Structure 1
Amino acid sequence: MFVPVVSENTNRSQRIVAQIRSLVAEGKLKPGDRLPPERELAQLMNVSRTSVREAIQILATMGMVTIKKGQGIFIAQNDVTSLMNTLGELLVVKKDEIKDLLEVRKVLETQAVSLAVERASDEELLTLREIVEDALARITTNEVDPAYAREHDARFHGAIFSFTRNHVLIAIVSSLYHVYDRMRSRTTTIPGRAIQSIKDHQRIMEAISRRDKDTAVQAMLEHIQSVERVL
């Protein structure tokens, strides 16, 4: 069922996500089905376990899989998620609609960061810090690899949404996943933009870690406004 991943111009974790989504759409993977263990999946798809972990995190954020500790990873049984993902696949954002999309993103992301401050566990906050610190370590001179920046951005924002524990909110965001990904493809190639985003993420992460809701919300709002200015 699973086939080796060919990276080409897309990072491997995104390819894994796309393959699993396709298998679900084709009915080869059904709600409640258990995915192979991480090591086996990595072997089947000829990728690293790190790529598999990143893909599973993305899928969990999208609401497509459920991670059950000690049991494994399962295709989610969630009618809301299925509906929202279907709508997302049909959504085509025109150039003059980007402003509208960013307004929606402000509402969703500021609410998500507010909930994350309240609900994220200490362990999850450490994970968020690791995501940011890994990105900071990759900053060289004045640039960051666009492919890595795109992957980092998805992981950072995805982690925050997962901390909300709100499955409907996650489903709504997952329906916009591909639209957001196209926006990332544009912004991460703008000189200096990737570094600015990583620094914004650091500020957001620090505020969430302090459980400082007001500062975290303001930092997220300013981050999205900075994206708005370059689009």
Structure 2
Amino acid sequence: MVSGTAKGGPGGPDEADDGSDRYRPGYELVAEQLLGYIAEQDLMPGDRLPTEQGLAQILGATRNVTREAVKVLAAIGRLSVRKGAGIFVAASPGALTDDQLAHFQPTSMEHVLMLLDYRRLIESETARRAATLATPIEVRAMRENAELSLTAGKAVDAVEFARADALFHDSVSVAAHNVFLRSSVANIRRLMSQSDVLLFHGDVPGSLEVAGNQHLAITAAIAAGEVETAAELMAAHIGTTQQQFERRIRDRVFNLTTKPAADATPSQQQPSQETSAS
């Protein structure tokens, strides 16, 4: 059994040693453990994993729960299931080849906080460069996306906000005129979306309206060529995201220790939606 995994039994890993884990869906726990197994074995994109039955034995889980875990990890792009061939570690759509990034643990607070710290550095720099290099057309697109995010935020429309949010951050990175910065921003958001799916199942994390207003403030600073202000506002924006994430973690742990959660399956979730107020 993988170190740190929940003990097996008739119900699989639902009977975890941690009291808060006791009410987490079994597939969610096994998905977390499976990512840990991939990291421990130093498996890289393209490497083949054992069969579902083999993984169930390794993780101390039932085959049904293991199958659901494989499904959710395939849905967020961490595994590739090829009919007749087996289960493989998926290649990242962002071509992340660094060993540490390939083994990102989306349910690890330590990993996510490091990712947010990196995001603050990268996106504040994109905002700084955009304030110097953005063309009028790029500023207009940025403003339109910021306004769309605010409208969606006021309506508490998480799906529409997620779309506008992604467009806004991409438009800022485009205006920085650096393909490597743009790629970094996109990769960070892909990794953050994995945490949203596995930990929060797409729930709205905080005030989307606040995030929309922050988008507009960042846009105004970039349009005015206020380099340092743009960078500071972006850093503060990412800081708000981190505060929301930490609060959601605390709330989630509190809720799990006070009442059972529904044992939803991945088919009931929308793993493709990215709804962080970021």
Scaled by the length of structure 1, what TM-score is found?
0.57
Equivalent residue for 2:138? 124
**How many angstroms apart in 2 are the aligned matches of 1:99 and 1:224?**
11
- Point out where structure 1 has 5 or more consecutive residues left out of the alignment: 1-81
Q: Identity over the aligned pairs, expressed in percent?
A: 22
**How many angstroms apart in 2 are the aligned matches of 1:137 and 1:107?**
28
Asked if the contact 1:187/1:193 (under 8 Å) is kept, the reply is no
Q: Judging by fraction of residues, say which structure has more helix.
A: 1
Please tell me whether residue 95 in structure 1 is matched to residue 109 in structure 2. Answer: yes
**How many angstroms apart in 2 are the aligned matches of 1:150 and 1:83?**
19
Matched position secondary structure for 1:144: coil
Equivalent residue for 1:109? 123
Give the drift of 1:124.
0.7
- CA-atom RMSD, angstroms? 2.8
Q: Which of 165, 178, 199 pairs up with 2:177?
A: 165
Please tell me whether residue 156 in structure 1 is matched to residue 168 in structure 2. Answer: yes
**How many angstroms apart in 2 are the aligned matches of 1:131 and 1:102?**
22
**How many angstroms apart in 2 are the aligned matches of 1:203 and 1:187?**
29
Matched position secondary structure for 2:204: coil
Asked if the contact 2:143/2:219 (under 8 Å) is kept, the reply is yes
Give the drift of 1:97.
1.2
Q: Which of 95, 117, 128 pairs up with 1:85?
A: 95
Scaled by the length of structure 2, what TM-score is found?
0.48
- Point out where structure 2 has 5 or more consecutive residues left out of the alignment: 1-91, 246-278
Map residues 1-231 of structure 1 onto 2, 5 A cutoff. 85-87=95-97, 90-93=102-105, 94-140=108-154, 143-183=155-195, 186=200, 189-190=203-204, 192-231=206-245
- Number of corresponding residues: 149
**How many angstroms apart in 2 are the aligned matches of 1:192 and 1:100?**
20
Where has structure 1 moved over 4 Å in runs of 4 or more?
Answer: 183-188
Counterparts in 2 of 1:159 and 1:184: CA distance versus 1, 3 Å: farther
Moved more, 90-99 or 180-189: 180-189
